[in-house]
Amino acid sequence: MDHLIEKLHTGPSALVLLHEGKVSAYSGVGVRSLYHLLHDAPEKLLDSKLAVKAVGSTAAKAMVEGKVAEVYADIISETAADILKDAGVRLSYDRKVPHREFLHVWERLGELSNE
C-alpha cells in the first residue's frame, strides 16, 4: 500500500489501483474513474487495493460493489468510512471528516458544482 500512496502523492493521479500485481493510475476525478471502472472493467476492482485522494459515500458504495479489498484515502467522509468498514474493506486514511465538510472537499476537487 505504501507504494500506491507514494504514487498518489507524487503524480497527478486521483486514484491509484493495484490489481493482480499491476499498478494503474487514473487522473481526473476519482469517483468518475471508479464509476467507469465499475461499469467498463469491474474485474480490475475485484480484490484490488486503492489509494485515493478523497472518498465520499458514492465512491465507497462503488468500491464495495466492485469488491475492493483495501482502501487508503487522504480524506474520507465519516459516512464513507462506515460503508467501507461495514462491508469488511480494510481502510486507512489521513483525515476523516463529517459529511457536510466533505462536500466542500468534493467541490474543490471538481466532483460537485456550486451552481
CATH of 2-108, one of 3.40.50.1950, 2.40.50.100, 3.20.20.70, 3.40.140.30: 3.40.140.30
The C-alpha cell at 63 is: 468500491
pTM: 0.86
In tens, the pLDDT along 21-45 reads 999 998 876 678 888 999 999 999 9
Count of helix runs (H) and strand runs (E) in the chain: 5, 5
Q: Any idea what DSSP says for residue 45?
A: T
> What mean pLDDT, rounded, does the chain reach?
88
Angle separating helix axes 30-40 and 57-65, nearest 10 degrees: 20
Q: How confident is the model at residue 112 (pLDDT cuts 50, 70, 90)?
A: very low
